[in-house]
Amino acid sequence: MADKGNEPKIDADEVLGGIVEWVSIESPSHDGKAVNKVVDHVEGQFRDLGLKLDRVPGVDGFGDILECKTPPELNGGEGKGILVLAHLDTVHPIGMIEKDLKVRREGDSIFGPGIYDMKAGGYIAYYALRHLIRQGKKPKLPVTFLFIPEEEVGSPTSRARIEAAAKGHKYALVMEPGRDGDKVVTSRKGVGRFVMTVKGRASHAGVRHEDGRSAILEMAKQIVRIEGKTDYARGITCNVGLISGGTGVNVVSAECKAEIDLRVPSQQLAEEMTHWFLGLEAIGSDVEITIEGGMNRPPYQKDAGIAELFGKAQAIYREIGKELADVPLTGGGSDGNFTAALGIPTLDGLGADGKGAHAANEQIYYSSLVPRTYLCARLLETLE
């Protein structure tokens, strides 16, 4: 698919080669040293483009945050510009690239750990700016690329930096994976995380069963209660995803812990469900429960500013004879939740199309690389 006139074309093989370089450096979220190897690579590429770099050392065992800003000579103006968000961590442990997710191509699909979620998108953003520079073009607005080291675990150390950056920008472009063909994301559910701990009383399960108060039994009752709050009609899902407890099969359990995931489509429901969770009380007698947590990603709702930005993206996509759509409210969270909640027009899901996020069949589609790169480049070029 050619660009206009005699301008250099976006080279799909060149895009793919760059993506594979990023993917080949495995970077699970909790391995800060591994993530920083990718940060090193990306930092070098943006330095070569002439961007101003600011690298913030990681904390709590996570990798570094990398910010890359276009200097005045690479953009057409001052003031609030475009924030491009991408994360360099993946959910896959070191070694997946040698086992279940070898980098390989099968027809239109290219496999690899984190290739879909979301190293392809991050590289596409880099290539899009480089493509403009090679054509002798530049964005009308300043552009800041912010690469996050721990998005897959909720961006605990980078959220403040994301929100501070967003406040200084007019738009946010989030390079998370594309969806279901020519679709992007214009709304996401908010994400809540809660931890429930139950304390009971231990006793011998055979000799003095009646003296015990089973924390596991209480937790089982609580799980039924919590999962029962899932309401598809209202867009609420509650999932008890992790549970641990007990000390032995012949011991009435004295303690049990569960970790809970909540997804809600609106701020009103976020407040309602948070209040409900934090107000939970014990069901059985002589047991204690405590629950901690709250929303870690606010809901991201399609407002007028987002609709207008999406309309601009649709117009760009029509330049290459394709129609861009947006997916209905998605349950997955992203760093776009933070920017949208601040009222910054945010367009998400701009990365490569594919499937298998977080799974052993994670893949992108080669056929999506040129259209997605063209869309990103033209957004950088035309937003004003």
pTM for the full predicted model: 0.91
- Cβ-Cβ contacts under 8 Å for 369 (sequence gap 6 or more): 10, 12, 15, 16, 19, 120, 124, 352
pLDDT grade, residue 332 (50/70/90)?
confident
CB-hemisphere CA count at 13 Å for 7?
14
Mean pLDDT value of segment 216-242: 97
**Could you report the per-residue pLDDT of 172-211, keeping only the tens digit for each?**
999 999 988 899 999 999 999 999 999 999 999 999 999 9
Residue labelled with tokens 């996050």: 148
Query: What pLDDT does 298 receive?
Result: 95
Domains observed in the chain: 12-188+300-382 (3.40.630.10), 190-297 (3.30.70.360)
**Could you report the per-residue pLDDT of 57-113, keeping only the tens digit for each?**
999 999 999 999 999 988 877 789 999 999 999 999 999 999 999 999 999 999 999
Average pLDDT, the chain: 96
**Could you report the per-residue pLDDT of 257-282, keeping only the tens digit for each?**
999 999 999 999 999 999 999 999 99
Is the predicted pLDDT of residue 3 greater than 70, yes or no? no
pLDDT grade, residue 330 (50/70/90)?
confident
Is-contact 350 118, C-beta < 8 A? no
What does the angle CA 316 – CA 319 – CA 321 come to, to the nearest 5 degrees? 120
**Could you report the per-residue pLDDT of 277-306, keeping only the tens digit for each?**
999 999 999 999 999 999 999 999 999 999
pLDDT grade, residue 1 (50/70/90)?
very low
